Structure 1
Amino acid sequence: MLRRGLEAISRWSANVTAVVACITGITMVITLLVGIFFRYVMQASLSWPEEVALLTFTWTVFLTASLGVREDFHVRVTLLRDALPNNAAIWLERLLLVGIGGFALAMFWYGWEFAEFTQRQVSPAIRYPLWIRNAAVPVAGALMLLHVAARLSRPAWHRPDANVETSL
């Protein structure tokens, strides 16, 4: 029951995260294009596109990183894992997930502290509170923790990439 609940919450949050990451990514590109258009075509630089692009870039990167934990699409070297027998490889994967969970916990904890530290600061051009940008780190950390918990709740023999062949 707990496993199904964690998996359902993880799947739902990943779907929402993917939509938000797409929106922030598209917003970033549009904002940069507007800035380029005004600078080079209209010969009038705007002060806000870089700040909006940085805000949306930060959220896009951290949200997508949390999706990488759920979907296991981060780049990594699997030389050791591939050399191990199947049972040992499975337990190595689980140990790595625990390590990722520790990193995610640090992201959440220290990201929260940093967002609090910057809660009274504002951006120079458009004056939005900087904690909004900095909150991407603890939010991503919390999402990563959720996805790690869901992956660890799966049966130990569940290895989604067991039949995938890769070549360089």
Structure 2
Amino acid sequence: MNTTILRKLERNFEGYIGTSMLFAYTGLIGYTILSRSAPWDPPTYTLTVTLYLFTWMTWLAAGWAIRHDSHFRFTLLRENLSPQANYLLRYIDLVGWVFFATIVAWYIFETLQRRLESGREILGTPIPLWTAYLAVFVGMILIIVRALQKAILVRRQYKNDEDITPTSKVDI
């Protein structure tokens, strides 16, 4: 496979999956709206499935935001700092993300195990309920992976004397 395609897939992995979920989400909502004015009843599962699709999109977007430096951060004060100070602060940011995501992943794993053992399904579907809770765990793992990737990229940029000052611009 072409390395350019693989790079693009890696850079936007969460975005591609999130976009397909958004289409499914929009389709389910549209179907529900049409069902209300049609002679048949809307399916019972659409509310819960769309809620869980939205949950998945949100947690996937968190990892994507870190990868693309589009997460919430304070840029105004950092524009006036030295490259060394920005380098240190970038690493503190990334270590904070890894620390936060590790704690959340640890505790959600326990909840995920309980949901797995319960054997319950999402209302009106054969989809196991644990798949909805898996979104948070996968999101945290992606945050950890993307933060570690970003740490490597920031280190490489710093060593090459590139500007690593965070800006308010989103790089896609």
Q: TM-score range by the shorter chain?
A: 0.7 to 0.9
Give RMSD over aligned pairs: 2.7
Q: Which amino acid is 2:158 matched to?
A: W
Aligned ranges for residues 118-129 of structure 1 at < 5 Å?
A: 118-119=115-116, 120=118, 121-129=120-128
Residue 127 of structure 2: SS of its match in structure 1?
coil
Contact 2:35 2:41 in 1 (8 A): yes
CA shift for structure 1 position 107: 2.5
Percent same amino acid among aligned pairs?
A: 23
Query: Which residue in 2 is equivalent to 1:48?
Result: 45
Query: Which residue in 2 is equivalent to 1:5?
Result: none
Question: Would you say 1:102 and 2:99 are equivalent positions?
Answer: yes
Query: Which residue in 2 is equivalent to 1:64?
Result: 61
Change (3 A) 1:96 1:39: same
Residue 158 of structure 2: SS of its match in structure 1?
coil
Could you tell me the TM-score, scaled by structure 1's length? Answer: 0.80
Change (3 A) 1:160 1:110: farther
Question: Would you say 1:157 and 2:154 are equivalent positions?
Answer: no
Could you tell me the TM-score, scaled by structure 2's length? Answer: 0.78
Gaps of 5+ in 1: 1-8
CA shift for structure 1 position 157: 1.4
Residue 77 of structure 2: SS of its match in structure 1?
helix
Gaps of 5+ in 2: 1-5
Contact 2:75 2:168 in 1 (8 A): no
CA–CA distance in structure 2, aligned partners of residues 148 and 112 of structure 1: 20
CA shift for structure 1 position 12: 5.0
How many residues are matched?
Answer: 158
1:85-140 alpha-carbon deviations (Å, 9 max, x no partner): 23212211111110011111123212222111211232233252111010011111
CA shift for structure 1 position 148: 1.1
